[in-house]
Amino acid sequence: MKEQLRQIEEKAKEAISAAADLKALEELRVRVLGKKSELSGILKQMGKLSAEERPKMGQLANKVRSDIETLLSEKTEALRNAAQNARMAAETVDVTMPGTKPPVGRLHPLQTVENEIKEIFLGMGFSVADGPEVEYDYYNFEALNLPPDHPARDTQDTFYITDQILLRTQTSSVQVHVMEHQKPPIRIISPGRVYRSDAVDATHSPLFHQIEGLVVDKGITMADLKGTLELLMRRLYGEDCKIRLRPHHFPFTEPSAEVDVMCFSCHGKGCRVCKGEGYIELLGAGMVHPKVLEGCGIDSSVYSGFAFGLGLERVAMRRYNISDMRLLFENDMRFLEQFR
C-alpha cells in the first residue's frame, strides 16, 4: 500500500505539471482526488490494516493527498496568471495609432436658417422671446382682435384641448405676453413651433415653425416695417433681393400687407416657380392694431408698432430650393447630409 501511494503521488505530479489549461486541471483533480479515484480506493481499505500499521498508513495517505492538493492549487494559480497575461497582451491598445473618427452631426436646415434670422435681428437690436406652445384661447385669439366667429377659431382648424386651452396656431401669442409685462420700447422676435389642423402635403403640415416680430415705440411707421424686412431678405437671399407689399387684411394689424419676395429662379421676370408673377408670397405684416395695443395696456395715442410673421419652413424651402416640405421632417439622411 505504501508503494501504491508513492506511485499515485508521482503520477499526479507528472500529470499536474503537464496540464495545459484550467479545464484539463479540473478533470485531473476529479480523477486523482475524486470519490472514484485510486487514492480514495486505498483509503477505503485502511480498515483491513493492523492496529499498528493503520496510523502510519493513514498519516502517509493524508500527506499524499495534501501534497497533491497543494500542487493543484499552485498550478491553478499559475494557469490563471498565464491566461490573464495572455488576455492583457491580446487586448493591449497601441495609443500611438490614430483613433476612429466619430461621425459628427450637423444642424438641421431649419435650425440653420432660424439661427441666421436670429443673428440678423440681434444685430438690429432685437431680443428673442419665448412662450408656451399650449396656450389660452385669450392669448392666441381674443387678445389679437380675432372675434369669436372668426374662421381661424373653428375647431376644424385648431387643436383644442378644452374650450379655453389649445395648441397655439401662431407665435403672435408671445407678443401679447411681452406687451403685458414690458413697457415700450419693445423689439422682439419669437420663433417656435405652432400647430394647425392641416392635411400633410408638399406645402402643409399640422406642425410647423413660425418667427414673429414685434416693434412698439413712439413714431413707428410702415416705412420702418418695410426697411426692416428689406434688410432681412437681403441678408437671407442676397443684396439684389427685392420685396413688395400688397394690401391685405389681418385682424391684429391695421393697415396690413402680404409681403412677397422676388423669385429666386427668374429674379422677377416670371417663370413656372412663381407662376409668372415674378414674386413669391412669403409672409404677412402690418401696423399693430390699436385695439391690440390698448388691450395690453399700451396707449395707442402715444405708441405705435409693427408686427410680422413668417413661416420658417417656407424661408428654408426658398433658401435651399426645396420643393416638398415633408423632406424637412422625414429624417432621411440622404437628404439631410446635403446641408453641411
Q: Which of 23-32, 100-109, 116-125 has the highest mean pLDDT?
A: 116-125
- For residue 22, name the pLDDT band (cuts at 50, 70, 90): confident
Q: Following DSSP, what letter does each residue of 231-258 receive, concatenated?
A: HHHHHHH-TT--EEEEEEEETTEEEEEE
Query: Between 120 and 19, where is the model more confident?
Result: 120
Residue 93 CA to residue 90 CA, distance in Å, equals: 9
Give the three cell numbers for residue 20.
495545459
Residue 9 CA to residue 46 CA, distance in Å, equals: 18
Residue of 58, 71, 72 lying closest to 25 (CA atoms) = 72
| Residue 118: partners with Cβ closer than 8 Å, 6 or more residues away | 128, 189, 191
In this prediction, residues 211-223 reach a mean pLDDT of 96
Residue of 233, 281, 290 lying closest to 257 (CA atoms) = 281
pLDDT of residue 49: 63
In this prediction, residues 323-333 reach a mean pLDDT of 89
**Cell 391685405 found at:** 248
pLDDT exceeds 90 at position 191: yes
By the 8 A CB rule, do 206 and 175 touch? no
pLDDT exceeds 90 at position 275: no
**With a threshold of 0.85, does the pTM exceed it?**
no
Reported as half-sphere exposure (CB side, CA atoms, 13 A), residue 2 has a value of 7
Residues constituting the chain? 340
- For residue 255, name the pLDDT band (cuts at 50, 70, 90): very high
- For residue 46, name the pLDDT band (cuts at 50, 70, 90): low
pLDDT of residue 318: 82
Over residues 23-32, the pLDDT tens digits come to 887 887 777 7
Out of 2.60.40.60, 3.40.190.10, 1.10.3720.10, 3.30.930.10, which CATH number does the structure's domain 109-336 have?
3.30.930.10
Burial 63-91 (b: 16+ CB within 10 A, else e): ebbeebeebbeebbeebeeeeeeeeeeee
> Over pLDDT 70: what percentage of the chain?
91
pLDDT of residue 101: 84
Query: Between 249 and 14, where is the model more confident?
Result: 249
pLDDT exceeds 90 at position 116: yes
pLDDT of residue 65: 75
Q: Which of 18-22, 194-198, 210-214 has the highest mean pLDDT?
A: 210-214
Domain positions in the chain are 2-90, 109-336
pLDDT of residue 47: 60
Residue 268 CA to residue 242 CA, distance in Å, equals: 9
Query: Between 287 and 23, where is the model more confident?
Result: 287
Is the preceding omega at residue 151 within 30 degrees of 0, hence cis?
no
